[in-house]
Structure 1
Amino acid sequence: MVKYFSNDVDIRTTWDLVVSAFWQRYPNPFSGHVLTEDVVFREVTADQRLLSRRLLTKTNRMPRWAEFLFPANLSRSVYIVEDSIVNLVTKSLTTYTWNLNHTTLMSVKERCVFQESEGRPSLTRLRREAWISSGVYGFSRPIQEFGLARFKSNQVKAMKGLEFALSNLQGLRLTVAERRHGVSPASKTQ
């Protein structure tokens, strides 16, 4: 049995700015669990799509009840692969992520699609889906329930991190625009 999660969110920002923020979301105050992110592969295809593969390392704190079931030396780091496709023609960013280790304990697969909202280019629609499974006989149901609850709380943090990156980019855009028009930061406060 697999636990499934999905939600749709409208982000009140243009798609191009959301995509820029996506690449700049780490580090942020909401992502203390993200230890590293490395680009493993990046390519622009003949049809002008950007393909990327990144490897992320995250911490993974177990619930107290699980500490009694699993060895103390079980790694608390989780290695995650993120494949992404940016399509400038359809104005979409699609990501696929999955964990590489601890897959018998719990496997989490996620797909996110960031798409310019039809008829409303000032909005970006995010569709997030996740599939959570466990291969631990006799404990798969509580492990999946825990995984689903953890995923839901982490996706809230992920949105806050994206919003943080967006606010940084929007602040940078304002500063650049002000400099182009001869407004100095000092003159704004007077």
Structure 2
Amino acid sequence: MVKYFCNNTDIKSTWDHVVSAFWQRYPNPFSTHVLTEDVVYREVTADNRLLSRRLLMKTNRLPRWAECLFPAGMSRSVYIIEDSVVDPVSRSLTTYTWNLNHTKLMSVEERCVFQDSAKQPAATQLKREAWISSSVFGFSKPIQEFGLARFKSNQVKAMKGLEYALSNLQGETPQRLLRDTVKDASEKAKEAAKTLASAAAGSAPQKPQQYV
């Protein structure tokens, strides 16, 4: 069984600003768990699409109840591959991410589509999907539920990080954003954690296919 997550968000910034902020969102005070980012591949295709592959390293703390089940020397860092396609014709940015290590413990695949809004001027639509699975016999369900709760918490932080980058690009003062959103991010993280006991399993659609 795979846990599936889907969320749609309207970002009140133009697509051009969102794409620019996407490449400049690290470091930010909401994503301190992201340790490094490196571009390992980049190409502009004949139809002017920008293809990129990046390698990111993030911290990956286990839940307390799981620490006794895994070796003390187990790496607490996770390596993430991020593939992206920027299409200036359709004005879309599509990203695919998945973890390279700890895949038996938990595999998280994510697809995001940033699309220029056809209904709202100066706005961008974001559709975020995630597929979370585990192969640990006897513990796959609680691990998947923990992964889903953590993903929901992290995606809230990811949005705040993007807003932070947008505010810097647009010449706004980030202090107000920090003051107003740190509390909000904390409250939403606590709310997401409640799904550990009540998250319902659902059918997951087909997983995304990477372009390379």
SS at 2:31 equivalent: coil
Alignment partner of 1:123 is 2:118: no
Q: Which SS does the other structure have where 2:170 is aligned?
A: helix
Equivalent position of 1:35 in the other structure: 35
Within 5 A, what are the aligned runs for 1:69-108?
69-108=69-108
- Residues in 2 aligned to 1:121 and 1:23: alpha-carbon distance in whole angstroms: 22
Q: State the partner residue of 2:15.
A: 15
Distance in 1, matches of 2:46 and 2:108, equals: 32
**Which structure carries more strand by proportion?**
1
Superposition deviation, residue 120 in structure 1: 2.2
Secondary structure of 2:157's counterpart equals: helix
Whole-Å separation in 1 of the counterparts to 2:153 and 2:88: 31
Q: Shift of residue 118 of structure 1?
A: 1.0
Contact 1:42 1:53 in 2 (8 A): yes
Q: Name the CA distance, whole Å, in 2 between partners of 1:160 and 1:151.
A: 14
Give the percent of matched residue pairs that are identical in Structure 1 and Structure 2: 80
2:68 is the counterpart of 1:65 = no
Distance 1:90 1:84 in 2: 14
Number of residue-to-residue matches in the alignment: 172
1:126 is displaced (CA, Å) by: 0.2
- CA–CA distance in structure 2, aligned partners of residues 29 and 108 of structure 1: 23
Q: CA RMSD in A?
A: 0.7
1:135 to partner: Cα distance: 0.3
Of 49-58 and 113-122, more deviation after overlay is shown by 113-122
- For normalisation by structure 2, the TM-score amounts to 0.80
1:51 paired residue number = 51
1:25 and 2:25 aligned: yes
| Distance in 1 of aligned mates of 2:151 and 2:164 | 20
- Mapped to 2, the partners of 1:47 and 1:55 lie a distance apart of 25
Matches of residues 97-176 of structure 1 in structure 2 within 5 Å? 97-171=97-171
Give the Cα–Cα distance (whole angstroms) in 1 for the partners of residues 130 and 121 of structure 2. Answer: 26
Contact between 1:38 and 1:55, CA under 8 Å: does it hold in 2? yes
Q: Which amino acid aligns with 1:122?
A: A
Residues 102-144 of structure 1, C-alpha deviations (whole Å, 9 max, x = no match): 0000000000000001132311000000000000000000000
**Structure 2 unpaired stretches of 5+:** 173-212
TM-score, normalised via structure 1 length: 0.89
